[in-house]
Amino acid sequence: MGSTVAVTIVPNGTMAVRDLHAHAQDRIAVLEQRWSRFIPSSEICGINAAAGEWVSVSRDTTRLVRRAIDAWELTDGAFDPTILPALVALGYTESIEIVRAAPRDCGRPASAPGCGDIEVSDDRVRLPPGVQFDPGGIGKGMTGDIVVEEVSSRGAEGVCVEVGGDVRVVGDGPEGRGWVVRIADPDRSRPDLARVWLTDGAVASSSTKERRWVAGNQEVHHLIDPATGLPTAVARGASVLASDGWLAEALSTAACVTGSLADVERVGGAALLVTGDATVVRSAQFGRYEI
């Protein structure tokens, strides 16, 4: 996933925490093997290679693709998992550490075709010819959702899964009352922009300042405007609080693409947006969680 992962579990008095951590670790490893576009044997690479044909996949993957389509519809296409050709045109063809190591060639911008004709059944996915799927951030969010769901169902008092700085929590933290999550400044030039308190939900941040590399003699980043196939220049970053990790990830990406918190507010979420001139904007609901 190109990220560090941290899992914190608050057990009940009789629970073997080591077994729960082992389950979490195993599930994260399996999900990466299924969803990474940089692992040729992954299910995502399989459906991309067979665009136009039905491909048998795990229930994890059909769940991921369905949620990605939901997010595309919810944001009117501002979040779009079919931007993979645009990322490839910018040279993002390998994990970010490799891409950053040397300047990349820059191809022709490619607008995203969208998810309208993607088909999903219980155990199969079919991409239309010419469509390529990239889980991107929504895969990280869904990983948090799945691990939190499964570990908490085994009796944990509280669980926190952090994937690359994006957080999914449930229940009580180590101090016995929810979880405190810090929201960093995208530019890293100021202290944390906020701290928020959650007992069940997710916080995801998207930034135009993090995954950057040089392509075609200019610095680019991974947040793509689906309409143009080019890196968006509207906002510096956004952090979204939502009920689920996949939803928070999609909404934070959409906010960066549009420069608006309208999608977040429409679904009852909360968010903080850092505009292009570094102004910090809070949604109407953000104050309910800020501490």
Range from 18-22, 167-171, 176-180 that averages highest in pLDDT: 167-171
Q: With CA atoms as reference, report the closest residue to 61 among 147, 149, 11, 121.
A: 121
Query: From the CB of residue 171, how many other CB atoms can be counted at a distance below 10 Å?
Result: 18
Residue 139 contacts residue 81 (beta carbons within 8 Å): no
Q: How many residues does the chain have?
A: 291
User: What is the pLDDT averaged over residues 88-105?
Assistant: 92
With bands split at pLDDT 50, 70 and 90, how would you rate the model's confidence at 134?
Answer: very high
Q: Is the pLDDT of residue 216 over 90?
A: no
Query: What integer pLDDT is reported at residue 138 of this predicted model?
Result: 95
Q: Is the pLDDT of residue 13 over 80?
A: no
**Tokens 């501002």 correspond to what residue?**
78
**pLDDT tens figures, 76-86:** 999 999 999 99
Q: Is the pLDDT of residue 214 over 80?
A: yes
Rounded to the nearest 5°, which phi and psi values hold at 192?
Answer: -50, 140
Instruction: Give this prediction's pTM.
Output: 0.94
Question: What is the rounded distance in angstroms from the CA atom of residue 141 to the CA atom of residue 146?
Answer: 9
Q: How many structural domains comprise the chain? A: 1
The domain of 87 spans 5-288
Kindly report the average pLDDT of the chain as a whole number: 94
**pLDDT tens figures, 249-288:** 999 999 999 999 999 999 999 999 999 999 999 999 999 9
Q: Is the pLDDT of residue 15 over 90?
A: no
Three-state SS string across 85-153, please? HHHHHCCCCCCHHHHHHCCECCCCCCCCCCCCCCEECCCEEECCCCCCCCCHHHHHHHHHHHHHHHHHH
Helices 59-74 and 136-153: angle between axes, nearest 10 degrees: 120
Range from 1-5, 83-87, 102-106 that averages highest in pLDDT: 83-87
Residue 133 contacts residue 104 (beta carbons within 8 Å): no
Q: Residue 205's domain is classified under what CATH number?
A: 3.10.520.10
- Estimate to the nearest angstrom the gap between the alpha carbon of 173 and the chain centroid: 23
Q: Is the pLDDT of residue 1 over 90?
A: no
